[in-house]
Amino acid sequence: MSDETAGLLEGAVPPARNPHLYGHQDAEDFLARSYRSGKGHHAILIEGPEGIGKATLAFRFANHVLSHPDPAIAPDHIANPDLNSPISRQIATGASHNLLHLARPVDEKTGKTKTAITVDEVRRAGHFFSQTSGTGNWRIVIIDPADDLNRNAANAILKILEEPPRRALFLVLSHAPGKLLPTIRSRCQSLRLSPLGDQDLSKALAGLGMPLDGGKTQEMVLGMSKGSVSQALKLLNYGGTEIISAFEEVVAADGPTARKAMHRLADVLSGKDSEVIFGFFLEHLSDHLIAKARNAALAGDLSTADRQAKLVSDMTEKITIAQAYNLDRKQTILSILDAARR
């Protein structure tokens, strides 16, 4: 498994190889015009929820820049990349000498993706710039996402951003920019992407060979995916809709019926190769608890609002401890479900 495909969801296309982008025409036009002006910022912070096309936009813009190295004569729009062109093939295969994609690496021992982008990965950027410094070409680094930088890696990136090499461009992706170092954010120009509308999300799924059928499945996917293609794929290809239904059964049931429903759900979430759907469930549960807290607060029931909000932080702490000490996941899930039902 290569770093480019590690963690790729079933049904998805690697952003470096994706010829299509939906719903972000304004952002594309802004980047094209900014580049053509010759006054574009050396670091763009592309913000927005996960799975809405940030990485695809970054690779499309990188392709645009490398295909038109002279800004003055570059088009004022970003066209779909020609996947048969040498530059597109190099980008798609990770063979471009002018583009470096920094993401969480694969652990050679376990074959799994590491939990963070480490300082060793950032050092690759330093080597990348030193190796290409005499070429005169644009050198582009995509950090995907910067949320995954550990503290040392973030500080190392900051040093490069403070004194960027000539003709260097950083495309910094973030699902939660508030978690980034303020000094990193201050050295980037922010470009915020919004979740996809229903029409663009439907087009994106159809482009992946998964057209929505117009029935109940479409209603559920569009309603629960929050404008994210990755969320939609989890609903369609990983049993996300069934997980949500099972959780609703747990919340509605009482006594022995509830316990049986909790165990059935915990068995699925703790099974082999369940990492994707487990993460999906945790997101859904967090949204559920936050919504309950918000509704209680709006109703003036501040004690219930505080209790529900605390459950979110307690859940995060339990998961962190369970992962750190390799505790039994099923028991952790049962404990979380029990607390969520109160």
* SS3 assignment, position 79: coil
Mean pLDDT of the region 73-93: 95
Residues 220-261 pLDDT 10s: 899 999 999 999 999 999 999 999 999 999 999 999 999 999
Q: Residue 312 contacts by C-beta under 8 Å, 6 or more apart in sequence?
A: 286, 289, 290, 293
Mean pLDDT of the region 43-60: 98
How far apart (Å, rounded) are the C-alpha atoms in residues 284 and 267?
17
* SS3 assignment, position 295: helix
**pLDDT for position 1:** 45
pLDDT confidence band for 106 (50 / 70 / 90): confident
Mean pLDDT of the region 280-292: 94
Is the per-residue pLDDT at 262 higher than 80? yes
How far apart (Å, rounded) are the C-alpha atoms in residues 145 and 151?
14
Residue % of the chain over a pLDDT of 70: 97
**pLDDT for position 216:** 80
**pLDDT for position 215:** 81
Spatial contact of 116 and 104, defined as CB atoms under 8 Å apart: yes
Mean pLDDT of the region 160-180: 94
Mean pLDDT of the region 151-175: 95
Mean pLDDT of the region 54-83: 96
pTM (predicted TM-score)? 0.92
**pLDDT for position 253:** 94
Spatial contact of 315 and 335, defined as CB atoms under 8 Å apart: no
pLDDT confidence band for 134 (50 / 70 / 90): low
How far apart (Å, rounded) are the C-alpha atoms in residues 5 and 88?
17
**pLDDT for position 227:** 97
Lowest mean pLDDT among 126-140, 171-185, 233-247: 126-140
Going by their DSSP bridges, the two strands 189-192 and 168-174 should be labelled as: unpaired
Is the per-residue pLDDT at 4 higher than 70? no
Q: Residue 199 contacts by C-beta under 8 Å, 6 or more apart in sequence?
A: none
Take residue 52 and report the two structure tokens written for it: 């809405």
How far apart (Å, rounded) are the C-alpha atoms in residues 328 and 323?
9
How far apart (Å, rounded) are the C-alpha atoms in residues 148 and 338?
31
**pLDDT for position 251:** 93
Q: Give 129: exposed, middle or buried? Use CB within 10 Å, 0-12, 13-18, 19+.
A: middle
